[in-house]
Structure 1
Amino acid sequence: MARILVTGGSGKLGRAVLRDLVAHGNSVLNLDQAPPQEAICPSVKIDLSDFGEVAAAVMGGIDERGGPFDAVVHLAAIPAPGLAANARTFTNNVSATYNIFEACRLAGIKNVVFASSETVLGLPFDTPPPYAPVDEEYFPRPESAYSLGKLVDETMAAQFCRWDPELRMVGLRFSNVMYPEDYAAFPKFDSDPNARKWNLWGYIDARDGAQAVRRAILADFKGFEAFIIANADSVMSRSSASLLAEVFPGVEQKGNISTNSTLLSVEKAKRMLGYSPQYSWRHQ
């Protein structure tokens, strides 16, 4: 049993992460400004912009909620572009991530997983991607304050790992998070292929997102790595190759693209994390 600290466990993906970690026998503490919708594990209200509060929590200094912690999962953030003023989104998200990373450094925690985002790949792809399926091989192309902040998070993680060769930090570039109740809306996407081109028709079932977090915690490499985390298929009934041909006709198609396969490559996550998507909106 590991002791795991999670930030943002009250959010859409966070709830699934808490459930998965607890179900696999871990002792979990949630840190969030918002109260949890269900009592999955103990939860503490915290302001992640306050380094003193963050350091106290990470170092086990909250009464009755002490550590030490084996791993930290940082999910808390303003979760998308356009929900707050750009400067607020950037400042809130980047400072919270720095506070978590620095507190982990001071506490000697060597295992950190954090939520990056598919947006660093160039979403909403007003400028087409260099090729498809997209992967982690090309340098990020942030197109919003939100995605710029996620790139800063990844850059910080790489430098924290340079400072400490024993540290592992994993940035998970999650696609658009969905629950089974969201799948009723998927069939209407077929009527307009441009409606979901902004993320190459991708998504991530929250339960598979939680699986990726758990596998990242258990990974056995050192240093920083970023991984795209998406489901194995697209949100569309049409073939992925035909979608690319219509909406992104000049984009190179790399390798064999099966009928409905994701255009957000998860091959690196499969190879290095053992990630294997289990869910699909097609088979609920």
Structure 2
Amino acid sequence: MRIAVTGASGKLGRAVVERLRASGNAVHALDVVGERGPGFTRVDFTDYGQTVDALFGIDDRHDGLDAVVHLAAAPAGGILPDSQTFHNNMSATFNVFQGARRAGIKTIVYASSETVLGIPFETPPPYIPLDEEYDTRPESIYSVTKHLEEQLAQKLVRWDPELSIAALRFSNVMDVADYAPFPSFDAGAGIRKWNLWGYIDARDGAQAVERALKLARPGFEAYIIAAADTVMSRSSASLAAEVFPSATITRELGEHETLLSIEKARRVLGFEPEHSWRDHA
């Protein structure tokens, strides 16, 4: 496939580019920052003209695409002022979605976020493990933007029955170098309760992207993408009981099972995490 990856210089973007190229795809790395090199083009996705131009074709790079992986965004709240977070992320996503449609690209996989589930869970989740059946409950401007991006995607696929958009609700993306502090989280159950003690190894995030590209069924689907385990040494059941006693536990939990359910991604995409922080502890 001929695939453009926006946000290709980011933590997840680098892993996605590496995996897709290793699988034999022609990958075009696009980002507002990054070093000049083969297959890389600097694009400001808040500029519609640049975005459309880059998706239609780039001299010495490509003359058309089969799919777009959209990862370009401020990756969390607080990095920019709230207004800039909204305008940057919403504009970039609209520009990529609309530009892809204008260019005749029918397959889009993009980074939504676990934050739409209610992070930082000051209001306890109604049940655990939390899954895609639970309605979105954004609690920040960053999360509101992710919610609105999903709403936009749902409307676009309704207008175009051939269009496929997969929203991957990534948990906190980690590289191996990020695992060193994980044992310190055991000092208190509340330290990482803000996202139900979840994370995702960037390499497994890239796996999810590749699987979503291969499936690419017309319509919109959202998937929670998290590691199979939590960031904690304690059992998942004990964490849920202590921190969220009012939440209904819907089934027996594995010892360190993720409380951000990945059952839909497993069932539909064939996603199966291959990496754990415990392998590097």
TM-score (norm: length of structure 2): 0.98
Mapping for residues 1-284 of structure 1, pairs under 5 Å:
2-36=1-35, 42-60=39-57, 62-284=58-280
Identity of paired residues, percent?
A: 57
Residue 45 of structure 1 aligns with an amino acid whose one-letter code is: R
1:66 Cα deviation after fit: 2.3
Contact 1:3/1:67, CA 8 A, preserved across alignment? no
Closer, same or farther: CA 27–181 of 1 in aligned 2, 3 Å: same
Separation of aligned partners in 2, 1:7 and 1:207: 17
Separation of aligned partners in 1, 2:230 and 2:127: 17
Separation of aligned partners in 2, 1:187 and 1:23: 33
Cα RMSD of the aligned pairs, angstroms, is: 1.1
Contact 1:119/1:142, CA 8 A, preserved across alignment? yes
Unaligned runs of 5+ in 2: none
Q: Which runs of 4+ in 1 moved over 2 A?
A: none
Residue 136 of structure 2 aligns with an amino acid whose one-letter code is: P
Contact 1:5/1:69, CA 8 A, preserved across alignment? yes
Q: Alignment length, in residue pairs? A: 280
Contact 2:166/2:216, CA 8 A, preserved across alignment? no
Residue 267 of structure 1 aligns with an amino acid whose one-letter code is: E
Q: Give a deviation string over 1:136-195, Cα, whole Å, max 9, x none.
A: 001100000000000111011111100011111000000001111111111110011101
Closer, same or farther: CA 12–133 of 1 in aligned 2, 3 Å: same
1:31 Cα deviation after fit: 1.0
1:83 Cα deviation after fit: 0.9
Separation of aligned partners in 2, 1:146 and 1:158: 19
Contact 2:165/2:216, CA 8 A, preserved across alignment? no
What is the DSSP-based 3-state SS (H/G/I as helix, E as strand, rest coil) of the residue aligned with 2:108? strand
Residue 31 of structure 2 aligns with an amino acid whose one-letter code is: D
TM-score (norm: length of structure 1): 0.97
Residue 10 of structure 2 aligns with an amino acid whose one-letter code is: G
Residue 120 of structure 2 aligns with an amino acid whose one-letter code is: P
Unaligned runs of 5+ in 1: none
1:221 Cα deviation after fit: 2.1
Contact 2:107/2:216, CA 8 A, preserved across alignment? no
Residue 31 of structure 1 aligns with an amino acid whose one-letter code is: L
1:283 Cα deviation after fit: 1.9
